[in-house]
Amino acid sequence: MPGPNIGRMEQFWVDHYAFLERRGYRLRPRYDPVHLPIRERVKWYQSSPSYPEDEITTLRPAVLDAVRTVDGLTVVLRKATTWSDEVPILQRLNDLHSDPRNRTVPILDTILLPDSDEHVLLVIPLLHSYYDPPFTSPAQVVQALLQLLEAMQFLHENDVAHSLVRDFCTNNLMLDPSELFPEGFHVARPYLSRDGQTLGVNFRNRPDVSPVRYFVIDFGLATHLPYRSGWVTTGVFGADKTVPELSWETPYDPFKVDIYQFGRVIMCDMIEVYNGLEFLRPLAEEMTRKDPDRRPDVTTSLALLREIAMHLPAAELQRDIWPVNHTIMLGFTSRPRRSCCG
């Protein structure tokens, strides 16, 4: 049974704490089997105004942060099922590293569990929500959209439709945070400092770092489709319930669902949040047409974006933008750094 300080869905990590440490991955003290229960910390609480870092739970039981002991790098452990196609798909896509459009989350290590053949642990880099910190110019937005559309093009050309899980959406689009968040952040609560003690995270603005790299994650229900032409599916799962064709009865093209969902990302995360991104509306409207047969494919969508960007004056691409419509979904960090050195 889970201890008084551990949720039922977290017990897996407690049970495998020692095993993972032997494999070279150290979990947070919270998951150490000898972790002091909260009821034995009463005196400590009374003497400290801070919330103990090791009392912060994981929000996704199948995903947890760890420190790779050989070099101190913070990584993420993802529990994947062996009966799904996720692991072979990710391994296959990771092997295609020479394609610059490949934005599939890299696999750093694969850990076989000692007590189960139903799951494996995938070790992946620590990533951050793609929209945070905020964009500060249209050029940055265009660069992000180009990378992510190229990532979709790469998947489609390799016969993988991410939208078999109907989720080419906000939560599965990430960025490399290494330069943007040099002091780190708390993996389970990204709005807290790395030690969990401070609300708000120091970050560098996007213009002050190398070009940001974006990634696509979560292939838990994806399937390799070797015969893409005419391939259809059914189902109504996914974060975005506005996709018109989702159905249990009528088959639809999952590749066109990818297009629709990313069009919604452009509309809901960009156009409706920032000032001055109206130039993207024609693209978003084309990608979110109700009739999937009238939506562009990913190659046409890329061409439309490039044409739009090409006709924008350089000054327009570099002008300042800022969020004017904060939403619950898009929670931005605070306390920006104004330069790489500041």
pLDDT value, residue 333: 73
pLDDT value, residue 292: 93
What DSSP string describes 29-95?
A: GGG-TTPPPGGGGHHHHHH--SPPGGGPPPSSTTEEEEEETTTTEEEEEEEEESSSSHHHHHHHHHH
pLDDT value, residue 73: 95
pLDDT (tens digit, 0 to 9) for every residue of the chain, 342 residues total?
444 567 888 999 999 999 999 999 999 988 998 865 554 444 444 444 444 555 677 778 899 999 999 999 999 999 999 887 788 888 999 999 899 999 999 999 999 999 999 999 999 999 999 999 999 999 999 999 999 999 999 999 988 765 444 467 888 899 999 999 999 998 888 888 888 888 888 899 999 999 999 999 887 656 666 545 566 665 555 556 677 766 676 777 888 888 999 999 999 999 999 999 999 999 999 999 999 999 999 999 999 999 999 999 999 999 999 998 866 556 777 654 433 323
Q: Look at domain 8-125 and name its CATH class.
A: alpha beta
Among candidate residues 174, 172, 188, 173, the one with its CA nearest the CA of residue 74? 188
Among candidate residues 34, 113, 46, 33, the one with its CA nearest the CA of residue 81? 113
CA end-to-end distance (rounded Å), the chain: 48
Task: Return the sign of the alpha-carbon dihedral for residues 83, 236, 156, 175.
Answer: negative
CATH of domain 128-337: 1.10.510.10
β 173-175/128-129 pair status = antiparallel
Among candidate residues 214, 213, 265, the one with its CA nearest the CA of residue 238? 265
Q: Do domains 8-125 and 128-337 have the same CATH topology?
A: no
The enclosing H or E element of 283 equals helix 281-287
pLDDT value, residue 303: 98
SS3 annotation, 157-210:
HCCECHHHCCCCCHHHEEECCCCCCCCCCCCCCCCECCCCCCECCCEECHHHCC
Cα 117 to Cα 1, 139, 170: the distances in Å are 22, 47, 32
pLDDT value, residue 53: 58
Which amino acid belongs to residue 305?
Answer: L
Per-domain residue ranges of the chain = 8-125, 128-337
pTM of the model: 0.86
Which amino acid belongs to residue 173?
Answer: L
Neighbouring CB atoms inside 10 A of 16's CB total: 23
